[in-house]
Amino acid sequence: MRYAGDVKITFLGSGGAFTDFRQNYHNNALVETGAGPVLLDCGFTAAQSMRELGIHPGALSAVLFTHLHADHASPEQVIWERYYSGPHGFPEFKPTRLVAPGELLSPMKASLEHYIGIYSDPTGTVRDDGVDSLVQFEHTREVEIGGVRFQFFRVPHVHGNNIDKAAFGVKITEGNKTVMWSGDTTFSPDWVRRAADDPNVTQIFHECTFFPHFRGTVHTHWNELLTLPDDARSKLTLMHHTAVPDGVDIEAVADAARRHQIFEL
Ligand SMILES: [Zn+2]
Ligand SMILES: [Zn+2]
């Protein structure tokens, strides 16, 4: 049972970029708001996962992005489904609201120009203003949707050699409860410890990979999360891990998210 002021999150998937889709989907989630669900990251498996949940993309109030990788930022399918279909089979011609910091949305807009720029409108007229007609771009680091506040914060995902790819975590707040969402990030324990110490933070969803640490990794590894103190790990739910290998003591953290799992926090 969800109470007003709880944050409700449904995982479309908790898999990594190379997941076998018979096992899991990309690490995308629906956040319930008073204006309808917000899709937090939209990989190319999001539409299939929503179909299995019986949720048409037309129900979405907005799509938010943490960074530009295919398992997080492939919204073309959802944009077309909202425009050319509907829950009853008829086209509803709905535009899609895309929300993210400008560092992400500007290049995404330029890329989408070539995918959805040219289309056929409800009168059957072929037009070339698809990017402006099918999508509402909202460049921001903070937005409130249906009573839920989303605040983007920078994380280090692919960084080094004086290069730092734009990547963000998201702080999600409803009432006096806050849930942290790491996005894709290498291990950066400072904000995790601060969040763990904040009594309003009920959960920290953190990416995790169980692959052995290797040169060139851009993710957080299980053995790194184990270096966090007990009180921080007790608020940690793993995501982006695909599956927990046999022999891993998952009791060391709060949980590991599964495809279609619902959290009410
Ligand atoms: Zn990813
Ligand atoms: Zn990534």
**Residue-wise pLDDT tens digits, 67-105:** 999 999 999 999 999 999 999 989 999 999 999 999 999
Q: Tell me how far the alpha carbon of residue 81 lies from the centroid of ligand 1, in angstroms.
A: 23
Average pLDDT over residues 183-203: 97
Strand order in the sheet with 262-264: 135-139, 96-100, 62-64, 38-40, 29-31, 8-11, 262-264
* Gap from CA of 165 to ligand 2 centroid (Å): 10
Give the pLDDT score at 15.
98
- How many A from CA of 146 to the centre of ligand 1? 27
Q: How many whole angstroms from 45 Cα to the centroid of ligand 2?
A: 15
The closest alpha carbon to 80, from 105, 106, 46, 123, belongs to 46
Contacts of 90 (CB under 8 A, 6+ apart): none
CA of 196 to the centre of ligand 2 (A): 24
8 Å CB contact between 137 and 105:
yes
pTM: 0.97
Helix or strand holding residue 64 (H, E): strand 62-64
Q: Note the ligand closest to the C-alpha atom of 18.
A: 1
User: Which residues on neighbouring strands pair with residue 9, listed in sequence order?
Assistant: 31, 263
Interval between CA 104 and ligand 1 midpoint (Å): 15
Q: What is the pLDDT of residue 92?
A: 97
* DSSP annotation string for 133-158: HHEEEEE-SEEEETTEEEEEEE--SS
Architecture of the domain spanning 8-264: 4-Layer Sandwich (3.60)
2: pLDDT strictly greater than 90 = no
Residue bearing tokens 């509402």: 136
When pLDDT is cut at 50, 70 and 90, the band that residue 4 belongs to is: low
> What residue segments make up the domains of the chain, in order of their start?
8-264
> What average pLDDT does this structure show over 120-133?
98
Show the tokens assigned to 160: 């080094």
Residue range 145-165, pLDDT digits in tens: 999 999 999 999 999 999 999
| Token representation of residue 214 | 């290797």
Angle 102-116/76-84 helices, nearest 10 degrees? Answer: 60
For 109, the 3-state DSSP assignment is: helix
pLDDT above 60: residue 1? no
Q: Read off the pLDDT of residues 207-248 as tens digits, 9 standing for 90 and up.
A: 999 999 999 999 999 999 999 999 999 999 999 999 999 999
Distance 81 CA to ligand 2 centre (A): 25
How high does pLDDT run on average in the chain? 97
